[in-house]
Amino acid sequence: MKTLLRLLANSILSEETAYAHCDIPCGIYDPHNAQLCAHTVIRMTQLLADLKRGDETKTEHDIARITEVKEEHSDILEEELETLRNDYFKDEHFAKYTNLNDLFVKTFKASAKARVGIDMDSAQEALSGVQEIAEIFFKTKNVEPVRVKSVYPTGGEIVTHK
The string of pLDDT tens digits covering residues 16-30 is 554 455 666 678 899
Flag whether 53 is in a domain. Answer: yes
Q: Which distant-in-sequence residues (6+ apart) come within 8 Å of 47 by Cβ? A: 66
Neighbours of 156 (CB within 10 A): 16
- Domain holding 114, by residue range, is 31-161
CATH number at residue 57: 1.20.120.400
Whether residue 13 has pLDDT greater than 90: no
**Distances 65 to 36, 62, 108 between C-alpha atoms, Å:** 18, 5, 23
Predicted confidence (pLDDT) at residue 158 exceeds the cutoff of 70: yes
The predicted pLDDT at position 6 comes to 59
Contact 104, 82 (CB under 8 A): no
Tell whether the model's pLDDT for residue 148 goes beyond 80. Answer: yes
In a domain, 13, yes or no: no
Find all residues with CB under 8 Å of 89, minimum gap 6, and list them: 100, 137, 140
Classify each residue of 56-68 as buried b or exposed e, where b means 16 or more C-beta atoms within 10 Å of its C-beta.
Answer: eeeeeeeeeebee
Q: Specify the number of domains making up the chain.
A: 1
Write out pLDDT tens, residues 63-93.
899 999 999 999 999 999 999 999 999 999 9
- Residue 58 reports pLDDT greater than 60: yes
Is 63 contained in some domain?
yes
At 62 the pLDDT is: 86
The stretch 49-62 carries a mean pLDDT of 75
Give domain status of residue 37, yes or no. Answer: yes
pLDDT of residue 18: 45
Q: What is the pLDDT of residue 27?
A: 81
95 within domain boundaries: yes
In whole angstroms, give the CA distance from residue 77 to residue 128. Answer: 13
| pLDDT tens digits for range 91-119 | 999 999 999 999 999 999 999 999 999 99
User: Which pLDDT tens digit goes with each residue over 123-132?
Assistant: 999 999 999 9
Can you give the pLDDT at residue 2?
59
Peptide bond before 31: cis, by omega within 30 degrees of 0? Answer: no
Instruction: Give the integer Cα–Cα distance in Å for 32 and 156.
Output: 14
Give the chain's radius of gyration (CA, Å). 20
pLDDT of residue 60: 83
Instruction: Band the pLDDT of 59: cuts 50, 70, 90.
Output: confident
* 136 inside domain: yes
Residue 84 domain flag: yes
pLDDT at residue number 78: 97
19 occurs within a structural domain: no
